[in-house]
Amino acid sequence: MTRQEPWTIRTAAAALRSGETTSVALVRSAHAAADLLDPQMGTWLDRYTEQSLSRAEQADAELAEGRDLGPLHGIPLGIKDILSTDEGPTTAQSLTMDPTWGDQGDGPVVARLRAAGAVIMGKTTTMEYAIGRPDFSKPFPVPRNPWNLDRWTGGSSSGTGNGVASGQILGGLGTDTGGSVRLPAAYNGVSGHKPTFGLVPKSGCVPLGMSYDHVGPLARSAWDCAALLSVMAGADPSDRTTVERPAIDYVAQLEQGFERSLDGLTVGIITNDAITEGSDEATMAVFDDAVAALTAAGATAKRVEVPLYDELAAGAFLGLQAEAFAWHRDRLAERWDDYGRPTRLTIVQGALISAGDIVQIERVRQVARRQVEAMVDAEGLDVLLSPTTGHGATPFTGGGTEALSIRSLHTPAWNSTGWPAFSVPMGFDPDGLPLGLQIIGRPFADDLVLAIGHAYQHLTDWHLRRPPHHA
């Protein structure tokens, strides 16, 4: 069957219940897409072919018996390969990873997806330890962008991003320490959500910067991400940073939100130089169009400057480097050459960050959080908006290291605050590459952020566009 629009989790879930399709059919189609596309796109590190088909058969039987576990029941998903699963090892896409680390089995988030009936298709590619850059010298797939195979997918949830965009999976898990859910979402033309810090447990995830790490969903739409987050969210005793909060059905909240009108919503347009000067003209023009679409639907827009924005962004980079070095220090000394060059050179810089520096980083984070919250209160803002990145996907250069300007990343500051941040497709640059709109909310206002993304996707169809390389 040829579909005019790509499957989403929402449409596939409805089709499963109407009898239009089956989980087995969805999974077989996903495997066929991977057979066709993976050799050129580098989406997968490991595919669980037999296990996923068996689980799909089980899901079909359960649904036929009236045992409906929710919208993820029978849906094929991918898991970034720094998250542990029952089926196989976690490599973190590194020659230095301890092969026994993943013997712990499913981490809490993977276990929750599985309990909700999702079909785990396999492990998707990442960058080495979720911080490296493409490295053609190592024996791992190099993920490529389905909009242009000469462009990168963004790091580090690379395979989940290009897998969703190309139709090999309907959604999946990524992690975000400085933007690693939102960047591949933007570069691949899909939706990706970094939840509020503490909302989703990180246990079973290879750490990068524990104070900045977030596990988040990628999928085609805001509705899909809301369905995933509804299952993922919730405290777990294995992660002391998680916060006890009442369970939220993010799909229900989203559907009660702004589908028809944005009247009464006030959005802050971030005007800091880091955004305006760190973005090219094409990106800012597309961003202006996205803001215009929201205001035409009733929202009020205010131009604002985020206090201590540069300090928040710099603190995220420095803090995660220090924490990464602490975790990798002994292994770096023993196996320096086995690390990819981009990875080791990034992590080893953490050795230059002193204890005093770390104290100062944390002090600035606390001061900045209070000042940003005070600004949002004073201006009466519901959310903040910016481009996710300053340009479209970057080309591969110099043996696999992409030309990427740190200044063009508009994501790290929100890892410092821990606030929720959601990237949705907002259009294309002159080269036909997707661009992302970033929606930032207050702590634990994930429902509002997703609802605004959902409303925007009622106004536009950017999230339903298919790349040239797709199933």
Half-sphere exposure of 154 (CA within 13 A, CB side): 39
Catalytic residue among 52, 84, 94, 156: 156
Answer whether residue 4 is part of any domain: no
Q: Number of folded domains in the chain?
A: 1
Which CATH number fits the domain that encloses residue 327? Answer: 3.90.1300.10
Q: What is the pLDDT of residue 349?
A: 95
d(Cα 95, Cα 99) in Å, to the nearest integer? 9
Specify whether 180 is catalytic: yes
Answer whether residue 143 is part of any domain: yes
Q: Which domain holds residue 198?
A: 9-464
Catalytic residue among 80, 123, 138, 194: 80
Answer whether residue 460 is part of any domain: yes
The string of DSSP codes covering 105-138 is -S-HHHHHHHHTT-EEEEEEP-SGGGT----TTS
Catalytic residue among 84, 158, 180, 423: 180
**Separation in Å, CA 100 to CA 58, 81, 333:** 29, 14, 20
Answer whether residue 38 is part of any domain: yes
d(Cα 212, Cα 66) in Å, to the nearest integer? 41
Answer whether residue 470 is part of any domain: no
Tell me which H or E stretch contains 274. helix 273-276
Answer whether residue 368 is part of any domain: yes
Answer whether residue 122 is part of any domain: yes
Each residue's pLDDT, cut to its tens digit, for the chain (471 residues) gives 346 789 999 999 999 999 999 999 999 999 999 999 999 999 999 999 999 999 999 999 999 999 999 999 999 999 999 999 999 899 999 999 998 998 889 999 999 999 999 999 999 999 999 998 888 889 999 999 999 999 999 989 999 999 999 999 999 999 999 999 999 999 999 999 999 999 999 999 999 999 999 999 999 999 999 999 999 999 999 999 999 999 999 999 998 877 668 999 999 999 999 999 999 999 999 999 999 999 999 999 999 999 999 999 999 999 999 999 999 999 999 999 999 998 999 999 999 999 999 999 999 999 999 999 999 999 999 999 999 999 999 998 754 445 456 779 999 999 999 999 999 999 999 999 999 999 999 999 999 999 999 999 999 999 999 999 999
pTM of the prediction?
0.97
Bridge-based pairing of strands 383-387 and 396-397 is unpaired
Specify whether 80 is catalytic: yes
Answer whether residue 471 is part of any domain: no
The single residue listed with the structure tokens 């092969």 is 99
